[in-house]
Structure 1
Amino acid sequence: MNRDAIVGCILGTAVGDAIGLPYEGLSPKRAERLLGTPDRHRFFFGRGMISDDTEHTCMAAQSLIEAGGNVDAFTKRFARRLRWWILALPAGVGKATAKSGIKLWLGWKPENAGVFSAGNGPAMRTAVFGAAIDDVSLLRELVRASSRLTHSDPKADDGAIAVALAAKHARQGASINADVWLGEVVDAVGDDGAELIDLLRRAIDSVQANESTLAFAKSLGLQRGVTGYTYHTVPVAIHTWLSHPQDFRQAVTTIIQCGGDADTTAAIVGGIIGAGVGPEGIPTDWLDRIREYPRSVRWMRELGEALADSLERNSVSRAPNINPIAVVVRNLLFLAIVLFHCFRRLAPPYR
């Protein structure tokens, strides 16, 4: 069973998210001058907090537990959680996700709630599918259901399946065969994903040529940072994973130094590599300095264990839940800290 992979994926997503969060939206040069090297938590007095990347991963895991392998049941439960998540005043929610949440409240069916967008929202939450699910056909259906709930552009779906298959490949052994993984992606996305396949092939060739991830990102025109477009996010994340498949700390530091949507890119990389190295491969100092409630590190461990248990039993189970009032209070505190960072960015250095 994939117990270590599931727990490692969830915790890896959280750590990457928390380390990258203060750097979100900054160019590589300004991030270095303003905050320094992303080698520790810098969100709030040396502590870290998670954002929507981890929250969506947790909601996906909860919905998997309650669905028992039924895709329709998963979709309904994830849609219900997304509706209530929007009401809890989350800071920094993406436009497509916000719009789809509103559409769900207005009565749209989950399969029609997605907005035509190729953002990286689906990719940020799908590593856990690859960590948990062995059946590629079921994996593909679950990723599609998760993606289409918020993003209807097939590009967002294709980017998400590439991430899920990377996590699946990462947890199946220490030796990474990029060509085997890419073949699985080709089979999953078909001819419509030709552009993504070309970008992923470029990433593999770049790694084999010992090019740095930052240099590869620049070759895609991302000198000022990795954008939220999934065809920018996913190839750079894959390059980072293939460059440092067993070194969680170096991988997360590397992709954050590429700038841009740093919390999401680091969350994706953290989830993929976390699935491969398990919870023991995640730096203890990074994990221990996350300060969260009610989605605490302990709660996330329990969530991963509960998902593993449900898969072992192959049955519907009750997922660990959280106090909704505590979520609102936490989100208000989180928003205050985010605003502090926003005001700090109004001061020098500007470049």
Structure 2
Amino acid sequence: MNRDAIVGCILGTAIGDAIGLPYEGVSPERSRRLLGPPDRHRFVFGRGMISDDTEHTCMVAQSLIESDGDVELFTKRFASRLRWWVIALPAGVGKATARAGLKLWLGASPEKAGVYSAGNGPAMRAALFGATMDDRAKMLEFIRASTRLTHTDRKAEFGAIAVALAAQHARQNPTVDAERWLAEVADACGEAASELIELLRRAIHSVKVGELTTDFARSIDLKDSVSGYTYHTVPVAVHAWLSHSKNLRAAIRSTIECGGDADTTAAIVGGIVGCGVGESGLPDDWLSGIKELPRSVDWMQCLGEALAETMKGHPPKRTPSINPITALTRNLFFLSIVLCHGFRRLAPPY
């Protein structure tokens, strides 16, 4: 298994998440006036931090290591991590994920914890499945288990499948064949995903005629921002990937410039492109600018390496873990920075 692709996927997700985080929930016009271009870290004193997008990707990686190919065990381990993650006061957690975590605490089984939602939570953690698995049937089992733990609307699952197959395609092919990838998505999802397939087909056509990702977003009625609805998030992220499959910096920037749920869309495209270019293709300044505890860049790199060894049949004796007290302290600090950004948005320029 390609260690560089797995580490690149995790760290690419983190970079997109961290660069996009200050822009979350802001329209393209306002973000340009308020923050400037998404060309560097702007979260706190010129440094970046990660949010739930990267944290979920890391929890998926930890659970894959411990499950060693057993989808039922993966579900149990991921559900256990999700329960504890929810009570550590993560800022900006999605409603569906929060409700699923609460249901787990109230005794619901992992199979019954999900709520009916087509949010982009499953898609934000899906690229790692494509980075780690070649067996498509097996990969789909894990994607469904990951999705239904929090979201039961099949649209959420279809979006996650599209992202995972994009990451797998980026890893396996030096040159992207968009039509072949789309055929794989259509085959995996079936007729029920016809709406998503049409949106992805429009994204491919838009790239072929040279449209910018911002222009494509406007063409599918996302003029002011990209929402957390997976049929909004995934087509925009796919357009950015197809436009800049070997340039993570350009792919992330073009996604953030669409506005809205910028950290998640950028995290998704970061994971896909990162899987294709590997760790060596990540921008050094953006990577070194992430200042995090307990999920530091070095820790995430070690996690990726441990997962790569597991996929080769050599799981580590101990899964990389985090200190829950450190995580809670960090989350309280993170929340204070988020609140500062919120108050800053109340002031001009408008």
Aligned residue for 1:72?
72
Contact persistence 1:174–1:246 (CA under 8 A):
no
Question: Kindly tell me: are residues 121 and 317 of structure 1, through their superposed partners in 2, closer, same or farther at Cα, counting changes over 3 Å?
Answer: farther
Aligned residue for 1:126?
126
- DSSP 3-state at the match of 2:265: helix
Aligned residue for 1:41?
41
Aligned residue for 2:14?
14
- DSSP 3-state at the match of 1:300: helix
Aligned residue for 1:107?
107
Per the TM alignment, residue 173 of structure 1 is displaced from its structure 2 partner at its CA by 2.3
Aligned residue for 1:140?
140
Aligned residue for 1:182?
182
- DSSP 3-state at the match of 1:206: helix
Aligned residue for 1:348?
348
**CA deviation profile, 1:172-229 (whole Å, cap 9, x unmatched):** 1220000111111011101111110011001001111111110000011111110000
Task: Give, in whole Å, the separation in 2 of the partners of 1:254 and 1:185.
Answer: 23
Contact persistence 2:88–2:331 (CA under 8 A):
yes
* 1:111-260 paired onto structure 2 within 5 Å: 111-260=111-260
TM-score normalised per structure 2: 0.99
Task: Give, in whole Å, the separation in 2 of the partners of 1:30 and 1:105.
Answer: 39
Contact persistence 2:306–2:316 (CA under 8 A):
no
Amino acid at match of 1:71: V
Question: Kindly tell me: are residues 317 and 169 of structure 1, through their superposed partners in 2, closer, same or farther at Cα, counting changes over 3 Å?
Answer: farther
Whether 1:63 aligns to 2:58 is no
Aligned residue for 1:274?
274
Percent identity over the alignment?
Answer: 68
Aligned alpha-carbon RMSD (Å): 0.9
Amino acid at match of 1:147: T
Aligned residue for 1:303?
303
Amino acid at match of 2:78: F
Question: Kindly tell me: are residues 123 and 317 of structure 1, through their superposed partners in 2, closer, same or farther at Cα, counting changes over 3 Å?
Answer: farther
TM-score normalised per structure 1: 0.99
Aligned residue for 2:83?
83
Whether 1:336 aligns to 2:336 is yes
Task: Give, in whole Å, the separation in 2 of the partners of 1:192 and 1:329.
Answer: 44
Task: Give, in whole Å, the separation in 2 of the partners of 1:197 and 1:219.
Answer: 16
- DSSP 3-state at the match of 1:66: helix
Per the TM alignment, residue 313 of structure 1 is displaced from its structure 2 partner at its CA by 1.3
**CA deviation profile, 1:77-119 (whole Å, cap 9, x unmatched):** 0000000001111000000000000000001110111010000
Task: Give, in whole Å, the separation in 2 of the partners of 1:316 and 1:113.
Answer: 30
**Structure 1 segments of 4 or more deviating over 3 A?**
314-318
Contact persistence 1:310–1:317 (CA under 8 A):
no
Aligned residue for 1:321?
321
**CA deviation profile, 1:232-279 (whole Å, cap 9, x unmatched):** 000010000000000011110110000000000000000000000001
Task: Give, in whole Å, the separation in 2 of the partners of 1:130 and 1:339.
Answer: 35
Amino acid at match of 2:72: D
Per the TM alignment, residue 2 of structure 1 is displaced from its structure 2 partner at its CA by 1.7
In structure 2, runs of 5+ residues without a counterpart are: none
Task: Give, in whole Å, the separation in 1 of the partners of 2:206 and 2:124.
Answer: 23
In structure 1, runs of 5+ residues without a counterpart are: none
- DSSP 3-state at the match of 1:263: helix
- DSSP 3-state at the match of 1:171: helix
**CA deviation profile, 1:285-336 (whole Å, cap 9, x unmatched):** 0000100000000000000000000111165853200000000000000000
Task: Give, in whole Å, the separation in 2 of the partners of 1:95 and 1:349.
Answer: 30
- DSSP 3-state at the match of 2:129: helix
Contact persistence 1:114–1:150 (CA under 8 A):
yes
Count residues in correspondence.
350
